[in-house]
Chains A and B, each alone.
Chain A
């Protein structure tokens, strides 16, 4: 092994293996066209190809594989939501994440580090208690913890009672985890392409042709493609793409900003989140501190970084971890979050018969990637809505039946 590595290091042509072969020519017809080549799009294609025997699939990606919110999220995996529908859905996703590296035979660097959400007020403790009870009832490891336990879990957290918002209690979620977000999309794309799925990058859907309530074809910048069914999995561009199919959505797009420091020695194991000071922090396996959760105060289709968010995120992160005042920032970026009124996704059937929606992923899309792939593939293959995603249908808004997860979402809006 060491000699092999040495030989590889001294070699002039690096024999790097390509994960998949990008498709070249667009065919005239596909059984399923998936719009969006991120984690969700590739996961749906993977599940259709591997478990439902549907391989005549094209993934149409406007830019490049996993280059949108799949690359921009902060890679948090957890299931400590508030509603029964939400907890059941995300906990199934966490289970799938735990087996994802085996499923792919490809390392997605899953790390079960746990997640701690901090309460700085009586109201927060009450809502955490509620969440912990709901979580435990549905089999999720989630409990209310006191200051002493918090200090043991995160020894370098600022537990001072003189700070602006002293820490009173916490919601400890042992199932919380993180994984390499890019690897998730690469693993799905690799597995899908090996089974015959075509990934077409730099292919933008410009129009969607609908005849008699069904999608017959999509027009792209590289030509027209006929299709048996269409799935849209485009996150920040959900409203724009759905509009081409004549489907209005209850979505507003807000930029969500995050930033990362230079790598440091490992000092922080769990993921720490504070809804009160609007920040969440974790240290990656490379040593960088990821500081996230700053939503812009009004809608925008732009992924610029702002000084205002850098200031507020830094101030909040330093309040929790004063030693971060010395840390140097490496990058700051934004992703376009497609926010729904109830902070739950929109999945399933649409008013167009063979057009399926996977939208409204706001700030909870990455953690849902594996279960989204499983359930959406089942829907497309069987045309029956799986029970797990039935509550998330678009129709719920017409019945005024929202699934309120606003309080259980880490980012503030």
Chain B
């Protein structure tokens, strides 16, 4: 059994968690063209080494971040998203001119 330490629930079996993808800051959708948006949606670093990624403790739906080595499968640390996001993100939309 492999353990992952949830910042909210402590060490739990990794089967209780869902992998949520590489951590990248979302680009501003009002200043991004389709090509850049495609890169953000589909393309990945897929790095071999230490990466930062999203994880979710499925049972409590608690989302957090983890630093993990993708060669050795060693989890270096897990931390709350509040370490990165200090304020609420607003999703403003430019009205279609046409």
* Chain A residues within 8 Å of B, Cβ to Cβ: 239-240, 248-253, 297-302, 304, 308, 341, 397-400
Task: Give B1-38 as 1s and 0s: 1 = Cβ < 8 Å from A's Cβ atoms.
Answer: 00000000000001100110000000000000011001
By a CB distance below 8 angstroms, the chain B residues around A300 are 70-71, 73
**For the complex, would chain A's binding face be called helix, strand, loop or mixed by DSSP majority?**
loop
Residue B48 CB within 8 A of the other chain:
yes
Q: Does residue B61 face the partner (Cβ distance < 8 Å to A)?
A: no
Expressed in whole angstroms, the Cα–Cα distance for A208 and B72 within the complex equals 26
Bound-state Cα–Cα, A114 to B39, Å: 40
Residues of chain B within 8 A of A341, CB atoms compared: 42
Give CA–CA (A302, B45) in the complex, Å: 17
- Give the residue name and chain of the A residue nearest to B48 (CB): A301
- Chain B residues engaging chain A, CB cutoff 8 angstroms: 14-15, 18-19, 34-35, 38-39, 42-48, 70-73
- Give the docked Cα–Cα distance between A300 and B2 (Å): 14
Beyond A248-B43, A299-B19, A299-B46, whether A400 also contacts B71 by CB under 8 A is no
Which residue in B38, B44, B46, B73 is a CB contact (below 8 Å) of A398?
A: B38
- Known contacts A297-B19, A398-B35; A302 and B46 CB within 8 A of each other: no
| Distance between Cα atoms of A240 and B71 in the complex (Å) | 13
Interchain residue pairs with CB less than 8 A apart (25) = A239-B44, A239-B45, A239-B46, A249-B44, A250-B42, A250-B43, A251-B44, A252-B46, A253-B46, A297-B18, A297-B19, A298-B19, A299-B46, A300-B70, A300-B71, A301-B48, A301-B70, A301-B71, A302-B71, A302-B73, A304-B73, A397-B43, A398-B38, A399-B38, A400-B34
A400 to B42, CA, bound (A): 9
- New contact pairs (12) apart from A249-B46, A253-B46, A400-B34, CB-CB < 8 Å: A239-B46, A239-B47, A249-B44, A250-B43, A252-B44, A297-B14, A297-B15, A301-B48, A301-B71, A304-B73, A308-B15, A398-B38
Whether B48 lies near A240 (C-beta < 8 A) is yes
| Bound CA–CA A240/B39 (angstroms) | 17
Residue of A at shortest CB range from B19? A298
Q: Given the complex, which residues of B lie within 8 Å of A308, measured CB to CB?
A: 15
Q: Once the chains are docked, how many angstroms separate the CA of A304 from the CA of B18?
A: 20
- State A111–B15 Cα separation when bound (angstroms): 38
A249 to B39, CA, bound (A): 9
Q: Is the CB of A299 within 8 A of B15?
A: no
CA–CA, A304 to B71, complex, Å? 11
Please tell me if the beta carbons of B43 and A249 are within 8 angstroms of each other in the complex.
yes
Measured CB to CB, the closest approach of chain B to A160, in angstroms, equals 28
Cα–Cα, bound, A48→B72 (Å): 38
A contact residues around B46 at 8 Å (CB) = 239-240, 249, 251-253, 299
Query: CB within 8 A of B39: which of A248, A252, A299?
Result: A248
Find the A residue at minimum CB distance from B46: A239
Query: Which residues from B are CB-within-8-Å of A240?
Result: 46, 48
Contacts of A239 in B (CB 8 A): 44-47
- Closest residue of chain B to A299 (Cβ to Cβ) is B70
Cβ–Cβ < 8 Å partners of B14 in chain A: 297
The 3 closest A-B pairs by CB, nearest first: A298-B19, A239-B46, A250-B42
Q: Chain A residues near B44: list those with CB within 8 A.
A: 239, 249-252
Q: How far is the CB of A336 from chain B (nearest CB, A)?
A: 10
Q: How far is the CA of A128 from the CA of B48 in the complex (A)?
A: 37
A304 to B47 alpha-carbon distance, docked (Å):
18
> Distance (Å) between the CB of A391 and the closest chain B CB?
16
- By a CB distance below 8 angstroms, the chain A residues around B45 are 239
Residues from chain A with Cβ under 8 Å of B34 in the complex: 398, 400
Chain B residues contacting A298 (CB-CB under 8 Å) are 19
A183 CB to closest chain B CB, in angstroms? 31
B61 to chain A, nearest CB (A): 17
Instruction: Report the Cα distance A397→B42, complex, angstroms.
Output: 7
Q: Note all chain A residues with C-beta closer than 8 A to B48.
A: 240, 301
The CA of A250 and the CA of B44, in the complex, are separated in Å by 5
